Chain A
């Protein structure tokens, strides 16, 4: 292809990537090292607010941002080095906990609490998604022709549902007097409160993620199964290989590149888990790194937002994903470039 043609086709994509990925990434990176603050002053303010019958007026010293002549807030921006990272990581509190030998205390610091859950969540759901996806793919592949269509349709459903709605529907089955909980209560004749237990919420969050993502793995593996060399399979049968041996020595090796692909995508997605926290209102028990970033970025009632810490937290999440992906990327690299 001529370079000009190539450039013409690639340019729009590169421009989009620059605008929507590279530029925000650079901004976030810079914001994590600087803090923009309003200039504030202490002023005495008399505020009269509505009481039920008459007003109550109070005079108090308030800290207010200074406004310039045009009525806009005056702000200062300062480069602060790694300060926001130290704050997100809770290094001071961590030092105290370590000095006291209270290891468990570290898990009360937001970042480490979120990291603990995010890692468990990612690493436990990974094999389940791959295993379940493969199982459905093989089951569909072996199903009678007339059944294939409906089975594919049903197994794809969870993937089509909007993530938050999917999470909410599972929440409604279990929280409060949800149908499943009510049935369990009747069956076991005890009072069950699913949302009062961290582990139960954690289990539901993982269950939801596997239920939601397994169809994606299934679609990929099912496509891969169509390209398995039938001659190799037949010779394996002649050699006396049973089902399990055929799966282990023929099918799985053939699907390996796809399994790595699904694993890569899942690691990236699961490490950024967010909708589970919102859908299951799990903040009191379990939070994820992505939720932490969101929480820092959400303005409170007074309009304060911790943009610098949110940026630092986002950068740390990105670094985390990269570390998780390294082993898989190295394997792919080796496969492509030989063992040298």
Chain B
């Protein structure tokens, strides 16, 4: 991951020196940006680089660097790529600036949906949505006469049939790497069972029936997955898909483009996407909704902020979307949803709809506690109840130290 992001950063740094090609204005103020390293960001930053004097750092470790880098005065970066999960520390520390005036002047073309507002003020400009949803091999499902599963009971049933047929090595791919990934997998399932993470006082509420059901369903699913699930992250599952080793997975919409990348994938055109399965009949799809977007640092001059914002607008305009249509579910005008976008759209428009991933301080602590404590359940060292009790205990300890609980 490090290597890849360094290569990406290097590649963008090179393109940054290229001629100012299709930018509407000549940028003469140096602008720096820090964002995540996936394909959509590469397209966006490449488009920004056309304005000149622009340097982007695409780094999957951005989430640990961003808060400190933006808290510096002057800020080490002018622009930041964030999601609803990672904007929290920037809002908490007040290190990003309201964008109302800049949107008024340079962002008239933005759709209202793109303007992320906190208490009425525009704090970020969204560019894409993301969600974990069901991706499946349509050729295999057709061959075996299987319907696309709508609930996790149906997923298990389909997995059983696929396993018996022996067409792939493992019916399911799962992103359950210890840490953030396994925490997020639990979040999805827990929400699907109607659970919520903490109450109004900030006390944890995961050691519940919903929590136990979520863990049991996850455990049942692992029976059909690679036994090495506890080291497998999104990239690993993406590769399992590309190499034809798995038949379905609850995977990020932003990974869709990779399935049709002929240089890497042996299953071009075979992978389709559908709504994230439900955990219970009539419940929401067992997943969370995410957006990715751009923020502007507070600790820079107004002139720099203006230049940075104008560059950012060039990065997320219609031309960029037309060039990189399949790399994300864009919110930007001109986006044509393709075959792989259907899953995300179906997920987001299902009633009841899945919630957005909560951007709160408590959620950060809860996610860490889940990520560290859940593996013990899957390695068989602890029961579901004991594991969830340990999660709550770890959360309470961390929340007390962070000053969120008395």
A92 (CB) vs chain B CBs: closest residue: B393
Nearest CB on A from B295, distance (A): 14
Q: CB-CB < 8 A to B359: which residues of A?
A: 47, 302
Nearest CB on B from A325, distance (A): 30
Q: CB-CB < 8 A to A281: which residues of B?
A: 177-178, 231
CA distance A235 to B140 in the complex (A): 78
Contact between chains at B289 and A195 (CB < 8 Å): no
CA distance A63 to B401 in the complex (A): 15
Say whether B5 faces chain A, with CB atoms less than 8 Å apart: no
Which B residues from 326 to 376 make CB contacts under 8 A with A?
329, 331, 344-345, 348-349, 353, 356, 359-365, 367-368, 372, 375-376
A38 (CB) vs chain B CBs: closest residue: B403
Q: CB-CB < 8 A to B226: which residues of A?
A: 176, 193
Nearest CB on A from B382, distance (A): 6
A201 (CB) vs chain B CBs: closest residue: B231
Contact between chains at B119 and A54 (CB < 8 Å): no
Nearest CB on B from A49, distance (A): 5
Contact between chains at B200 and A195 (CB < 8 Å): no
Say whether A40 faces chain B, with CB atoms less than 8 Å apart: yes
A297 (CB) vs chain B CBs: closest residue: B64
Contact between chains at B382 and A306 (CB < 8 Å): no
Q: CB-CB < 8 A to B115: which residues of A?
A: 48, 55
Which stretch (A64-72, A122-130, A142-150, A152-160) binds chain B?
A64-72
Nearest CB on B from A340, distance (A): 50
Nearest CB on B from A110, distance (A): 7
CA distance A181 to B402 in the complex (A): 44
Nearest CB on B from A85, distance (A): 13
Q: CB-CB < 8 A to B119: which residues of A?
A: 45-46
**Of A46, A49, A67, A71, which is within 8 A of B356 by CB?**
A49
Interface membership of chain B positions 260-300, coded 1 if the CB is closer than 8 angstroms to chain A and 0 otherwise = 00000000000000000000000000000101010000100
Say whether A231 faces chain B, with CB atoms less than 8 Å apart: no
**Of B84, B236, B363, which is within 8 A of A49 by CB?**
B84
Interface size class of B (residues with CB under 8 A): 35 or more
CA distance A184 to B367 in the complex (A): 38
Q: CB-CB < 8 A to A195: which residues of B?
A: 227-228, 230-231
Which A residues from 28 to 56 make CB contacts under 8 A with B?
35, 37-40, 45-56
Contact between chains at B381 and A108 (CB < 8 Å): yes
Q: CB-CB < 8 A to B112: which residues of A?
A: 54-55
Contact between chains at A301 and B85 (CB < 8 Å): yes
CA distance A93 to B115 in the complex (A): 46
Interface membership of chain A positions 71-113, coded 1 if the CB is closer than 8 angstroms to chain B and 0 otherwise = 1110010000000100100001100000000000001101000
Which stretch (B88-96, B145-153, B309-317) binds chain A?
B88-96
Contact between chains at B372 and A110 (CB < 8 Å): yes
Which B residues from 101 to 117 make CB contacts under 8 A with A?
112-117
Nearest CB on B from A95, distance (A): 12
Say whether B166 faces chain A, with CB atoms less than 8 Å apart: no
A36 (CB) vs chain B CBs: closest residue: B403
**Of A45, A49, A193, A283, which is within 8 A of B116 by CB?**
A49
Q: CB-CB < 8 A to B177: which residues of A?
A: 281, 284
Interface membership of chain A positions 199-235, coded 1 if the CB is closer than 8 angstroms to chain B and 0 otherwise = 0000000000000000000000000000000000000
Say whether B202 faces chain A, with CB atoms less than 8 Å apart: yes
Q: CB-CB < 8 A to A193: which residues of B?
A: 226-228
CA distance A309 to B394 in the complex (A): 12
Q: CB-CB < 8 A to B236: which residues of A?
A: 176
CA distance A225 to B4 in the complex (A): 45
Q: CB-CB < 8 A to A300: which residues of B?
A: 364-365, 367-368
CA distance A298 to B65 in the complex (A): 10
Contact between chains at B114 and A50 (CB < 8 Å): yes
CA distance A47 to B94 in the complex (A): 16
Contact between chains at A198 and B379 (CB < 8 Å): yes
Q: CB-CB < 8 A to A107: which residues of B?
A: 381
CA distance A31 to B401 in the complex (A): 12
- Given A37-B402, A51-B129, A176-B228, CB of A65 within 8 Å of CB of B92: yes
Say whether A295 faces chain B, with CB atoms less than 8 Å apart: yes
Contact between chains at B67 and A50 (CB < 8 Å): no
Contact between chains at B126 and A284 (CB < 8 Å): no
CA distance A84 to B398 in the complex (A): 11
Say whether A180 faces chain B, with CB atoms less than 8 Å apart: no
Q: CB-CB < 8 A to B84: which residues of A?
A: 49
Contact between chains at B404 and A51 (CB < 8 Å): no
**Of B92, B114, B126, B398, which is within 8 A of A306 by CB?**
B398
Nearest CB on A from B7, distance (A): 15
Say whether A61 faces chain B, with CB atoms less than 8 Å apart: yes
Q: CB-CB < 8 A to B85: which residues of A?
A: 301
B240 (CB) vs chain A CBs: closest residue: A176
Nearest CB on A from B392, distance (A): 12
Say whether B63 faces chain A, with CB atoms less than 8 Å apart: yes
Q: CB-CB < 8 A to A76: which residues of B?
A: 403
- Given A45-B119, A47-B359, A87-B397, CB of A52 within 8 Å of CB of B231: no
Q: CB-CB < 8 A to A63: which residues of B?
A: 202, 360-362, 404
CA distance A40 to B401 in the complex (A): 13
Contact between chains at A298 and B64 (CB < 8 Å): yes
CA distance A193 to B170 in the complex (A): 13
- Given A48-B117, A50-B113, CB of A39 within 8 Å of CB of B381: no
Interface membership of chain B positions 116-150, coded 1 if the CB is closer than 8 angstroms to chain A and 0 otherwise = 11111000001001000000000000000000000
Contacts A51-B289, A73-B94, A108-B376 aside, 8 further interface pairs with beta carbons under 8 A come to A48-B118, A49-B356, A53-B349, A93-B393, A302-B363, A303-B92, A303-B93, A308-B401
Q: List 24 A-B contacts (CB under 8 A).
A: A39-B403, A40-B404, A48-B115, A48-B117, A48-B118, A50-B116, A50-B331, A51-B353, A52-B349, A56-B356, A57-B117, A63-B404, A64-B91, A64-B361, A71-B298, A73-B92, A108-B381, A196-B227, A196-B228, A281-B178, A284-B379, A302-B360, A302-B365, A306-B402
